[in-house]
Amino acid sequence: MPTPHLASLRDAIPQLRLLTEPADLEHYGRDWTRRWVPAPLAIALPDSVEEVQAIVRWANAAGVALVPSGGRTGLSGGAVAANGELVVSLARMNRMLGFDAVDRTLTVQAGMPLQRVQELAQEHGLHYPVDFAARGSASIGGSIATNAGGIRVVRYGNTREWVAGVTFVSGSGELMALGRALVKNSSGYDLRHLAVASEGTLGIIVEATLRLTDPPPASNVMLLALPSFAALMQVFATFRTRLQLQAFEFLTDVALQHVLAHGAQAPFAETHPYYVVTEFASDEASEAEALTAFEQCMEQGLVSDGVISASDAQAAQLWRLREGITESLARYVPYKNDVAVRISAMPAFLAETQALLGREYPHFEVVWFGHIGDGNLHINILKPDAMAQDAFVADCERVTKLLAQVLQAHGGSISAEHGIGLVKKPYLDCTRSAAEISTMRGIKAVLDPGGIMNPGKVFD
Ligand code: MLT
Ligand code: ZN
């Protein structure tokens, strides 16, 4: 039997594609967190900006909450619909709208997967540099809504840097072209940046104009083995001084073992406690600098082994060791911390965090990896098979409170790139001030006066 809400939605927008089958509700009602039981009202698949606006107007009138949905690869519960919300999936709005060679911009609908954006840029002889392992599924709208980072931030910055314009349907149903792809624009507040990292709480991103850049140089990937955690930031400093790094990623041997168990090939005959995957241009000068940096690190005892890619296939193999981590851990439904501090604060923060987690998690497997060159660390705590999910999460939340205090002391952030969503909502006030949070609430009240946009995410 259709609910009264569904009947009124069908009346209001008869042509709107709606899914109500249990399998669809389950599929579209959750993200990669897998912690909440999906329970959406239905899934709306609009095909135009007008349909999105009509949905928002209907939701305000009916008092039904909306959860915008991209590729559902989020890791913070930002796209979870567990309370009878209408999921608004942008999956059908995935078309290219324009390319401008003079402006060097690509305009696309928000449901286009990141990888397709990258391919289109390449087809036009240019490059969209935001990149991360979920590229095939994550949508560009979702990546904007979380200000996604990924593996190239050390070279190119976060998604925010590449958003030239956003077409946005606010929670009150207003259509706004924010940013307009102008290079210069000093005409008041830059509202485009409110859409970035808004996690669907202010409105729905329907289109984006993205800046493109020159294609990167041909590159080499190097895997370094490190004997100690303390060496990490020194190795980074040595390599960064000599090279323009395209990536500088870190993983522990615990992380590597999970990826190997998933079918990847062991890079060294021996195991080492820590590893770095770094990438830089493959021209002669860069290769010579990389070799010098490597030798310098070896002499100082900061690096104990290394391998450099000799082909694209080998480069991909080395990248798999880092990019395969999330997938290889998925079966444990890990509790994820995604924290950031300034790069200069990293050594002290790492030492304190290592001591804290060693003390608080003697009974759990803890997997460390991340974008160390950006000051961004991922800490995944694996649920023991025999332990109940609730008890596991409760223990991880207890420790996250302590971690948030360490972050506060170092001026860091409880979310570097995954967003706050539901997972980190309890800790937002550790790394954002009361004045900041109340300003965010004020902004939400203006753009989403009916409180229909992704309620309960980021803050209550
Ligand atoms: C990554 O860096 O691999 C992603 O942020 C995903 C994750 O943290 O699991
Ligand atoms: Zn990451």
Ligand 1 pocket, 326 CB below 6 A?
yes
Distance 17 CA to ligand 1 centre (A): 33
Interstrand relation of 66-69 and 86-89 (parallel, antiparallel or unpaired) = parallel
| Ligand in nearest proximity to the CA of 259 | 1
Distance CA 460, CA 444 (A): 11
Distance CA 85, CA 80 (A): 9
Rounded (10°) CA dihedral 333, 337, 338, 343? -140
The answer for residues whose C-beta is within 8 angstroms of residue 451's C-beta and 6 or more apart is 65, 171, 444
The type of residue at 75 is: L
Do 224 and 303 form a contact (C-beta atoms < 8 A)?
yes
How distant is the alpha carbon of residue 140 from its chain centre? 11
Distance 326 CA to ligand 1 centre (A): 6
Rounded (10°) CA dihedral 113, 117, 119, 125? 180
Interstrand relation of 219-226 and 274-281 (parallel, antiparallel or unpaired) = antiparallel
Closest CA to 151 of 184, 185, 106, 118: 118
- The atom number, within ligand 1, closest to the CA of 417 reads 5
Distance 378 CA to ligand 1 centre (A): 7
Q: Where are the alpha helices (DSSP H) in 63-208?
A: 114-123, 140-145, 153-156, 192-195
Distance 155 CA to ligand 1 centre (A): 18
Closest CA to 163 of 206, 211, 219, 207: 211
Ligand 1 pocket, 52 CB below 6 A?
no
The answer for residues whose C-beta is within 8 angstroms of residue 446's C-beta and 6 or more apart is none
If one residue of 158, 378, 424 were mutated to test the ligand 1 pocket, choosing by the most ligand atoms within 8 A of its CB, it would be: 378
| Ligand in nearest proximity to the CA of 320 | 1
Distance CA 404, CA 341 (A): 11
Angle (CA) 48-51-54 rounded to 5° is 155
From first to last of its 460 residues, the chain has per-residue pLDDT tens of 468 999 999 999 999 999 999 999 999 999 999 999 999 999 999 999 999 999 999 999 999 999 999 999 999 999 999 999 999 999 999 999 999 999 999 999 999 999 999 999 999 999 999 999 999 999 999 999 999 999 999 999 999 999 999 999 999 999 999 998 999 999 999 999 999 999 999 999 999 999 999 999 999 999 999 999 999 999 999 999 999 999 999 999 999 999 999 999 999 999 999 999 999 999 999 999 999 999 999 999 999 999 999 999 999 999 999 999 999 999 999 999 999 999 999 999 999 999 999 999 999 999 999 999 999 999 999 999 999 999 999 999 999 999 999 999 999 999 999 999 999 999 999 999 999 999 999 999 999 999 999 999 999 9
Distance 75 CA to ligand 2 centre (A): 10
Domains of the chain are: 4-92 (3.30.43.10), 96-211 (3.30.465.10), 219-326 (3.30.70.2190), 333-440 (3.30.70.2740)
If one residue of 72, 73, 132, 154 were mutated to test the ligand 1 pocket, choosing by the most ligand atoms within 8 A of its CB, it would be: 132
